[in-house]
A and B are shown apart, each in its own frame.
Chain A
Amino acid sequence: QVQLQESGPGLVKPSQTLSLTCTVSGGSISSGSYYWSWIRQPAGKGLEWIGRIYTSGRSYTSGSTDYTPSLKSRVTMSVDTSKNQVSLKLSSVTAADTAVYYCARDGGWGYNYWGQGTLVTVSS
């Protein structure tokens, strides 16, 4: 059974870079063709898609990324297949970036695997 686990600092200072890691267990991150996304949810609000990175053991497009336009200038996603991890970096954070951050896997039929989420607070 595939499991996703987010990890990273729970508190980040304004203007700094938020860095999170999603560790995948129960299967190789590149064993199939998947989109690994980061999705966030401010307290009491809805889901906001941040971006995704594509992995495939056979495709030349493995590692390609898509980001939501509103965050594109501040977001970087990457994959470390040796550690079975997906990473998120969000630069120049402000209080508006305070949220629960989820990683999730889309195999083409919606996000059928989610991490439990990790709360990141931006505050000095």
Chain B
Amino acid sequence: QSVLTQPPSVSGAPGQRVTISCTGSSSNIGVGYDVHWYQQLPGTAPKLLIYGNTNRPSGVPDRFSGSKSGTSASLAITGLRAEDEADYYCQSYDSTEVVFGGGTKLTVL
């Protein structure tokens, strides 16, 4: 069982907007630790998608955005494309530990 809770799956049609939630607690997200998001395509290593709650690394399309409030964070993807079909993970910190969400599989219908 992961420290951060994500929905196992989400889906959307091309062009639509989807959100993926990441729920933590007062010992991790809620205490102020940053949340980062990763995209993992099949058979590849995870790729940093959002860092510091809301920031996109160079090269990540602005269709991807992150937010954080209280003990939760969210990843939003607008203008869904077929190539967005992947697993998405949130990550934060809990004292001296790094914690991940269980991952969310995004299916583009």
A residues with CB within 8 A of B: 37, 39, 46-49, 52, 66, 68-69, 102, 104, 106, 109-112, 114-117
Contacts and interface: CB of A to CB of B under 8 A. Distances in A.
B38 A49 contact: no
Given A110-B91, A115-B45, A49 B36 contact: no
Contacts of A48: 100
Contacts of B97: 49, 66, 68-69
A101 to B, nearest CB: 11
Given A46-B2, A46-B89, A117-B45, A111 B38 contact: yes
A48 B101 CA distance: 9
Interface in B63-109: 89, 91, 96-103
B46 A52 contact: no
19 contacts: A46-B2, A46-B89, A46-B100, A47-B46, A47-B100, A49-B98, A49-B100, A68-B97, A106-B98, A109-B36, A109-B52, A109-B55, A110-B38, A110-B48, A110-B52, A111-B48, A114-B46, A115-B45, A117-B45
A14 B57 CA distance: 41
User: From DSSP, what is the main secondary structure of chain B's interface residues?
Assistant: strand
Contacts of B51: 109-110, 112
Contacts of B96: 66
Contact of A47 (B34, B44, B57, B103): B103
A111 B36 contact: yes
Nearest to A114: B45
A102 B38 CA distance: 14
Contacts of A39: 100
Given A109-B52, A114-B46, A115-B45, 8 more contacts: A46-B2, A46-B100, A47-B38, A47-B46, A47-B91, A47-B100, A66-B96, A111-B91
